[in-house]
Structure 1
Amino acid sequence: MRRDPIRQVAYFVPDVRVAARAHSALYGSGPYFVAEHIPLTLCRYRGQPGKLDHTSAYGQWGEVMIEFVQQNNPEPSVFFDMYPNGGSGIHHIALIVDDIHAAMRHFEAQGFAEGLYAEVMPGAGFAMMDTVKAYGHFTELYEPTPPLLGVYDLVKRSAQGFDGTDIIRPFAF
């Protein structure tokens, strides 16, 4: 039986900086690390080659990472699947799993198709499983690689003692 805890809640928004500042003002989350035009070495959308240019802001809210995502290109994507007319809202939750491909097969066996598979570097992939009809959001999967855990650690450590200043901070993969 799987017991993977939610590690992240992600929202699709038109502007990650505006969303991060608003969330921080309301909930005290942050600071937010903004990665512009995140490079992908591989991108597959619904089983076909895809193109995704996106910017993300990562911040901490209690024990959960918050991500704000904006898409910078017009190509079809899992983001536009949920928000085709420029809307915004919750998009996915993220789980860190021991074996991404085994977890993908598990989700597929339960009737949840792969919406997106992408890699930020060869072997460092993430998948968005289409759990929208059942849960109202996608489910993102990735493995606990040292770079990924390093990002989670940086964001969480930076939130300790965060006083609400310097909310937006640059970040690169």
Structure 2
Amino acid sequence: MPAENTPVRQIAYFVPDVVVAARAHMATFGSGPFYVAEHIPLTLSLYRGQPAELDHSSAYGQWGDVMVEFVQQNNEGPSVFRDMYPDGGQGMHHVALIVDDMKAAMQRYEAAGHATGLYAEVAPGVGFAMMDCVESLGHFVELYEPTPPLLAVYDLVRSAAQDFDGSDPIRYFAVN
């Protein structure tokens, strides 16, 4: 088994426009508010082990007990998103797990036959991985460790949803 019984913390969808998708999700499910991060900077991006540019934007909101993310790719080129949706399609892409030791979890997934589709870092040593479970599960599995900045985002999104009355539904993160 690739990982211990780790709860899903997030479900993510690949979409052409994160704001449009967030608004549609809010209208259908009452989720939100959504926090948008545009052109998320990466200090490292390895697609299937090779350096590759990835310019992406995401919107994060709360949907009951789980965070929902919408992600769009802003640049051309290969990626784990285009692996599943090569012709501009959209749909469910990955679930995210917070693990105590990402490198060990990656090794367990790889040993079980799930290649690392993406390894990226938002700061040196602060990374996330997309494990290719498409053949067996129909989606990728994202792994990351419980760093204070990551947990702060989860806390912000969850707490904003508690008293969300539908006003100010789209909010923007400052991305440096």
Q: Which TM-score applies when normalising by structure 1?
A: 0.99
1:39-82: CA deviation from partner (whole Å, max 9, x where unpaired): 00000000101110000000000110000000000010000000
Aligned pairs, number: 173
Q: CA deviation at 1:3?
A: 1.2
1:7-39: CA deviation from partner (whole Å, max 9, x where unpaired): 000000000000000000100000000000000
Q: What's the counterpart of residue 28 of structure 2? A: 26
Runs of 4 or more off by more than 2 Å in structure 1? none
Q: What's the counterpart of residue 81 of structure 1? A: 83
Q: Secondary structure at the match of 2:58?
A: strand
Q: What's the counterpart of residue 2 of structure 1? A: 4
Return the letter of the residue paired with 1:48. Answer: Q
1:79-105: CA deviation from partner (whole Å, max 9, x where unpaired): 000000000000000000000000000
Give aligned-pair identity as a percent: 71
Aligned mates of 1:172, 1:79 — CA distance in 2? 24
What is the CA RMSD across the aligned residues, in angstroms? Answer: 0.8
Structure 1 stretches of 5 or more lacking a match?
none
Return the letter of the residue paired with 2:86. Answer: P
Q: Secondary structure at the match of 2:136?
A: helix
Aligned mates of 1:167, 1:134 — CA distance in 2? 36
Aligned mates of 1:70, 1:59 — CA distance in 2? 15
Return the letter of the residue paired with 2:67. Answer: M
Aligned mates of 1:75, 1:103 — CA distance in 2? 27
Structure 2 stretches of 5 or more lacking a match?
none
Q: CA deviation at 1:126?
A: 0.2
